[in-house]
A and B are shown apart, each in its own frame.
Chain A
């Protein structure tokens, strides 16, 4: 396996690993939103401003999970393309070697078509990889935006929580956990973007 293929495999595998963590954190956000909603309901008028925020956080977490599922599918597709490219490259290299060693064979010319076909498929795999990386980058950007929004909402919710009287501490804990989760998601997604950036720039 050449250096380029190894790098591709590692990049795709690292995305899958990062995304597993993001899904888990998004679920935590969703849970925190449900928890906050219950507290806000108990707080009644004291946390009236907090209630719509909890719905928004919940929707955001769901949207994030949906996006990550799409990204996961794209990452799986990238993995398949990488394997296909690897196989075709191996075949191409062998065919190329054979065309140089079988010069005296009566039917040496019959290698030309398989050689050309293998080369075309390798090139097609490389193009498709770049296209899918570009698409995946777009989805990663969307998740980054979601994470940023979650961070801003966490700030708003801290302000709303400050008016919640005896529920202040509970709601502030929820706000803090949403803020932490947003930061973690942002970090994970940034690592995905860095891992992929060297492959997708041509089509971006």
Chain B
């Protein structure tokens, strides 16, 4: 999946720039998004070390390198941050990341933290350029302790990081979730195991339900649109997961997923 314009009003675009192939980093497929407003671009979760060239190659279709105005990291995992040191050789743009992950990022081979902006627990409003605002929405413990979502009010898209992430089999590929029930088998195990607890899920659903959302764009797998958006939120709000399912150390009521 490459170059899918999730929103395009001419002056404002929200693009699924690239979905890395599993072979690119011998890992899982991950989505990298670009939001463009006139001459300003914001890159969401630029990806691991191996995918940097393909993400940048796609990005150059839309903006110049000097038009990258911000990079936003949803959380601290290597499939999101691993390629960042090379991006920082390319751009002086600020990099937004949760305050609680700032001290760990230098271990990704990042020479200086001067470009980093810590996002407080409650999230923040970011003015990228005149008329271009993004809302950094907290999504703590889902699955990262300091996860951040990005809400684009012009596109009405919520970038959800690992919330809603799917792990499709290698031979299955579809771009959008139009049938939530059919999609559920590909997200259920991941969410039960990688999300911390129902309380975190419920509080997040309550918070994002106040936003006007047409699309949920996760970091892995297909994109939720139409009826699948409320279907996912309703399912997630009731989900028992993580510590809710722990019976004793190392054991979960759901069984040991992914073994």
Contacts and interface: CB of A to CB of B under 8 A. Distances in A.
Interface string B27-68: 000000000000000000000000011001100111111100
A91 B89 contact: yes
A95 B61 contact: no
Contacts of B89: 87-88, 91, 114, 118
Interface stretch (A40-48, A100-108, A175-183): A100-108
A40 B57 CA distance: 77
B111 A95 contact: no
A111 interface: yes
Contacts, number: 51
A107 B90 contact: no
Contacts of B90: 91, 95, 114
A95 to B, nearest CB: 7
B144 interface: no
B86 A107 contact: no
A107 B53 contact: no
A202 interface: no
Given A87-B89, A91-B89, A94-B86, A107 B56 contact: no
B51 to A, nearest CB: 11
Interface residues of B, number: 17
A111 B60 CA distance: 9
Nearest to A108: B60
B18 to A, nearest CB: 12
Contacts of A108: 60
A105 B53 contact: no
Contact of B63 (A94, A97, A107): A107
A4 interface: no
Contact of A107 (B62, B85, B111): B62
B78 interface: no
Interface string A92-129: 00110110011001111011011000100000000000
B226 interface: no
A118 B89 CA distance: 8
24 contacts: A84-B111, A87-B89, A87-B111, A88-B89, A91-B85, A91-B90, A94-B52, A94-B56, A98-B53, A98-B56, A102-B56, A105-B57, A105-B60, A106-B61, A106-B62, A107-B62, A107-B63, A107-B64, A108-B60, A110-B60, A110-B66, A111-B60, A111-B65, A114-B90
